[in-house]
Amino acid sequence: MRVALGKTDLQVHPLCLGGNVFGWSADSQQSQEVLSAYEADGGNFIDTADMYSEWHKGNIGGESETIIGDWMRIRGNRSEMVIATKVAKLSTRPGLSAANIASAAEDSLRRLGTDYIDIYYAHHDDESIPLEETLTAFNQLVTQGKVRYLAASNYSADRLSQALEISRKLGMSEYLLLQPHYNAIFRSEYEGDLMALAVKEDIAVLPYFALAAGFLTGKYQPGIEVQSVRAEDMPERLNDQSWAVLNALTEIAGQHNAPIPAIALAWLRAQPGIAAPIASARTPEQLAQILPVIELTAEQVAQVNAL
């Protein structure tokens, strides 16, 4: 099964496999097991970033890219994979200046063991640098054949609109994909102006934190302590509305005889503009919970929307 990514010519699996756990909660061997299991199920779309996973003790950033690059070299499958990575958040390569973008891209290419990146994201908006400088630097990478398509993450609708206008005015490659924080319990960032712009411009949207840092897997329940590197992120999510959404997803999962995480991802796919949600797994067992591609009824989508 494949879905089209907006105005690109890319055809990808409906689940984009997140690489943020590689080199963090999943070591190199575990990561490669997950990658191979994803590929075996027809998966071809992997998301990473130069700063993954700098936050883990002893890491310097780039660990995820290196693991993915080593795996592709071993498998000899680079041409079959769609690889997305990002620039701007690594502490040693911060921001979106022209010089930093050029250097960071070379670093990512080296770690990934490839001569091109399929999708290159601005990991966040850098308002200290003129948009024209950032976009010109990205466009140069496309012209050089080092990047196929450009994308934006964590941009407001206004800034994304400005970026599109500048790229078109200067006849340059433009942002064709968008990665916002979006899931069934965090909807404010995407729904509204950003969604309207994405739909209007046919920008493929690939939401991150699609499972709310694990809350929408269903493993968190009242009174139950969960051992997870992300458990500390949970308190802010544990409110009545969040539990109501999780309960609705659990009910729908029972109707489909499917894992709760797969239903949370199915809800995302049903929203306007969404091409493929991003979700990660540190074991093949976790991966099996997010791989099923399920189509919800209009009533089931509305049931979650209403909450």
For residue 150, give the H/E element and its range: strand 147-153
Q: Can you tell me the distance from the alpha carbon of 152 to that of 240, in angstroms, rounded to the nearest whole number? A: 32
Catalytic residue list contains 120 = no
Best CA proximity match to 173, nearest among 204, 208, 205, 144: 144
Classify the phi-psi angles of 42: left when phi > 0, otherwise alpha if psi is within -120 to 50, otherwise beta.
left
Q: Give me the residues paired with residue 12 across strands.
A: 3
Contacts (Cβ under 8 Å, ≥6 apart) of 41: 287, 291
Q: Can you tell me the distance from the alpha carbon of 289 to that of 300, in angstroms, rounded to the nearest whole number? A: 19
Cβ 112 vs Cβ 85: under 8 Å = yes
- CB-side exposure of 25: number of CA atoms within 13 Å? 16
Q: Give me the residues paired with residue 278 across strands.
A: 16
CB neighbour class for 171 (10 Å; exposed up to 12, middle 13-18, buried from 19): exposed
Question: Which one is catalytic: 38, 52, 120, 121?
Answer: 52
Q: Looking at the annotation, which residues are catalytic?
A: 52
